[in-house]
Each structure stands twice: as structure tokens, then as C-alpha cells.
Structure 1
Amino acid sequence: MRVGDIVIVSDLGEMKIYRAAPRDLEAEADSKSENIKLDLIETKDYLLSHWKVHDLVSDQAGRFKGGNQGENHELIKNIEEDIIKTVAKDISKTVSQGKVQKWFLGASETVYDQILEKVSKSAKETLFLGVKKDLVKTDKIDLIKIFKKKI
């Protein structure tokens, strides 16, 4: 990992974007990559993922009684797909706007491939390393260790 690289960790509820920054002059001169730190540059919350199905399909007086489980399952699936598209769009935008040379991605195994499938082609070309693990709650010091260990 070098100064200027981007680390993105995401799940269906939240995304955190970090930029690798130098801790000292040696890291800034790119001679000691172990002296890198991660600075949080942006967080995004995907609020729709926190909603319950009954919040989305209720009327003014309260919840509908009964309901079809198949319809609820389909609604949940559609919500997840929409969130995955939004996450991929946000990643593509971050990578293209920042003119990133190299970036790292951490996302849970259940959504990693789906997210990457929807990320723009130009962003995929600069993806250096991906980890299929939910790292959103991981301390940024540990993120550096996780991505270095995988290299």
C-alpha cells in the first residue's frame, strides 16, 4: 500500500472510504510503506437497508394483516439489489473522481461478487486487491495489516 491508495470497505448498510497517507517523511517519499496510515475521507449510510419490510408495506392505520411471504421475500431481494447497485455506483464514482492509481476493496462474501460485477470497467481495472470479508467495523490500523497480509 502506498500514499494515495484508496481503501473501501462496505456492507449493505454502510461504506467507509479511506485514503492512505504518510505518517512521516519516509512514507511520504515512498521509501517506507509500513509508515502508512489510513485517513477516513468519507462514509455513506444506506438507510433503506435498515428498514423493516412492514415499514415499507403498511397503510396509514397500521400494518396490513397477513401478507404474502413470497412478496416480502421478493421485496427484500429487490431492496438488496438496489443497494448493491448504489454501492457499486458510489465505488465507481469515488475511484474515477479521485483519479486513483490503485484501490482495495473489503466486502462481505455474500455481496462482494455482486458489487464487483456492477462496478464500472475503468474502476475494476485499478482494483489492486479485494477481500471477501465484512470489514466495515474493523479498526483502520487493522485494515492496513489485513490488506498487507493478503499481498
Structure 2
Amino acid sequence: MKVGNIVILANLGELKVYEAKPRDLEAEAGIKPENVKLDLIHDRNYLASHQKLHEVLTDQAGQFKGGSQERGSFSRGGIAEKHTIEKEIEESVLREIAKDVSQIITEKNTAVYLAIPETIHKRVTERMQPQAKEKVVKIVEKDLMKTDKTELVDLF
């Protein structure tokens, strides 16, 4: 990793972008460009992924009872439907992550290192723009969000 490179960490709840800055005068002069430290330049939380399902949906039945209400008989219909809202929220967050990562990569004209958890890695990279994928030097399939930034330099 050299001065000016970008490190992007992402998971379903958060996105962090670090830029490699010189740690000492030798790195700043270009003599030892690998002597870098990471400075946080962008941080974003994806609030939709933090919400509980009961905050989004209610368990109250709607005003339409359903079922058969013919003369002389009444059958109870289903009062709720199966919701796929969890998958829809996850897909929405994945699209946002891919869009944000692609935008950051295309704005920066430097090498980019990316860390995304293995569970969502493929789904995020599939949604990224092709020109953004080309600038990624290394992808680590781990959730490094809680890793100390001094250890991130060694990982990349």
C-alpha cells in the first residue's frame, strides 16, 4: 500500500473509507511510500439494515377480512400474507452499498483495497460498475469493520 491509496470497508450496516497518508517524512518525500497510516475520510451507516422487523410491520389485520362470506356459511380467510420484506430490505441495502462503493472508486484515481464479508461479497461486487471493479487491487472477504486501522495496513 502506498500514499494516496484508498481502503474501503463495508458490511450490511456500515461503510468506511480510509485514505493512506504518509506516516513520516520519508514517506512524504516518496523515499519509503509504504510507510503509511490510514485516515478516515468517509463514514456511512445504512439505517434500514438496523431496523427491527416489528418497527416496519404491524401485526394488526387489515380491514378486509377475506374468506367466504356467503349466506349461511362463513369461513375464516387468511388475515395476513407472507412478507418478503427482510429480503427486500437486504437487497436494497446491497444496492446502496454497491452504488456507494462504485461512486467512491470512480471519484478517486488511485488503487483501491476493498474488504466485504464473505456472505455478501459476491452480491455486492455483481452490482458494482465495471469501471469501478477494474480499479480494485485486492479484495478481502472478511468483515474488518471492527479491526484497528493500524492492522489494516498490514492486511492489505
Q: Which residue of 2 aligns with 1:20?
A: 20
Paired with 1:93 and 1:25, the residues of 2 have a C-alpha distance of 32
Amino acid at match of 1:103: V
TM superposition shift of 1:67? 4.9
Show structure 2 runs of 5+ residues with no match.
62-78
SS of 1:110 mapped into structure 2: helix
Q: Which residue of 2 aligns with 1:101?
A: 110
Decide whether the 8 Å contact of 1:9 with 1:106 is kept in 2: yes
Paired with 1:45 and 1:116, the residues of 2 have a C-alpha distance of 19
TM-score (norm: length of structure 2): 0.83
> How many pairs were matched up?
139
TM-score (norm: length of structure 1): 0.86
Identify the structure with the greater strand proportion.
Answer: 1
Show structure 1 runs of 5+ residues with no match.
none
TM superposition shift of 1:145? 1.2
State yes or no: 1:127 paired with 2:136.
yes
Which of these two proteins has the greater Rg computed from alpha carbons? 2
Of the candidates 131, 144, 147, which is equivalent to residue 153 of structure 2? 144
Amino acid at match of 2:93: I
Mapping of residues 44-83 of structure 1, within 5 Å:
44-58=44-58, 63-64=59-60, 67-68=80-81, 70-71=82-83, 74-83=84-93
Change (3 A) 1:25 1:48: same
Paired with 1:67 and 1:5, the residues of 2 have a C-alpha distance of 51
Structure 1 consecutive aligned stretches of length 4 or more whose deviation exceeds 4 Å: 65-68
- Aligned-residue sequence identity (percent) comes to 42
RMSD: 1.5
